[in-house]
Amino acid sequence: MEMHHHLRDQLKKLKMPGLYQALDMRLAESRTNNLGHLEFLSLLIQDELVNREDNMLSKRLKAAGFGVQKSFEDFDFRFNEEALPSSILRDLATCHFISQKQNLVIGGPPGIGKTHAVKAIGHEAARRGHQVLFRSTQKLLAEMQSDSSQRAERIMRRAVAVDLLILDDFAFRKLDQREAEMLYVLAEERLGRASTVLTSNRPPEDWYAIFPDTVVGGAILDRLVSSAIKIITTTGKSYRREAMRVENCPLGEANR
């Protein structure tokens, strides 16, 4: 027992909580199954690694700022198959486009699952070890103009540097000169270096109109959109409306 306490303190010093938590269970397992020394040690090291990876994933998910988290596990691929083709979404979920530093644009009517899809992609990216930042475009622009210049600088630096920046609800409203300049910095700094994802309820041809002048607007959109993977749809059913219909109508399921 004393040995056990001693080991616990040592493992604490070494910051190996996963190993410590698994110790009793592995000891019992080792006795029951007559594990060799090496096998026993290898299992414990594996326990520590799994624990560390879990903790790092939680940190990355928290840092991404998804708010309500969404993943592909709770995404119905058949619901808007035509508007958001499952083959493309599954391909994006491999995060190959992130390694390729490609951008992604998803445009289409409200409620069709754009935000859900890009959060799910962000989740996959975090699982693969990528640093992700998710924000509504408005919120990020506001944060970058925070009264605390330290905070503003920090978020700007992160927005420039993360492996995957997701700007949700792009082109939601008109931007002023300062906001356009900040977007330009983001677009320019990230181009070819890291992936940026945009979602919007408006079609890309309407995006020029949100900028205070066409030169800056053109430069920004050229960098963010021109070579991006694009899923643009004008159709697509609202999942929200569909969910409401099913709830309100006892025969709702039959209507689907």
Residues that bind ligand ADP (CB under 6 A): 70, 74-76, 79-80, 110-116, 239-240
Query: What is the C-alpha to C-alpha distance for residues 226 and 34, in angstroms, rounded to an integer?
Result: 62
Task: Residue 79: name its binding partner from ligand ADP, Mg ion, none (Cβ under 5 to 8 Å by kind).
Answer: ligand ADP
- Shortest distance (Å) from residue 131 CB to Mg ion: 22
Surface-to-core class of residue 30, CB atoms within 10 Å of its CB (0-12 exposed, 13-18 middle, 19+ buried) = middle
Task: Residue 122: name its binding partner from Mg ion, ligand ADP, none (Cβ under 5 to 8 Å by kind).
Answer: none
CB-nearer residue toward Mg ion: 26 or 123: 123
Phi then psi dihedrals of residue 70, to 5 deg: -130, 145
Task: Residue 220: name its binding partner from ligand ADP, Mg ion, none (Cβ under 5 to 8 Å by kind).
Answer: none
- Shortest distance (Å) from residue 244 CB to ligand ADP: 11
CB-nearer residue toward ligand ADP: 115 or 195: 115
Maximum distance among all Cα pairs of the chain, rounded to whole angstroms: 74
Query: What is the C-alpha to C-alpha distance for residues 115 and 94, in angstroms, rounded to an integer?
Result: 18
Cα end-to-end span (Å), the chain: 63
> Taking CB under 5 A as the rule, does residue 115 contact Mg ion?
yes
Distances from the Cα of 199 to the Cαs of 11, 15, 27, 39, 93, in angstroms? 46, 41, 51, 49, 16
**Residues that contact Mg ion, how many (by CB under 5 A):** 2
- Shortest distance (Å) from residue 139 CB to Mg ion: 13
Residue nearest to ligand ADP (CB): 113
CB-nearer residue toward Mg ion: 110 or 218: 110
Query: What is the C-alpha to C-alpha distance for residues 114 and 30, in angstroms, rounded to an integer?
Result: 49
Residues 86-105 touching Mg ion, rule: CB under 5 A, are none
- Shortest distance (Å) from residue 176 CB to ligand ADP: 25
Q: Say which DSSP state 217 is in.
A: H
Positions touching Mg ion (CB under 5 A) are: 114-115
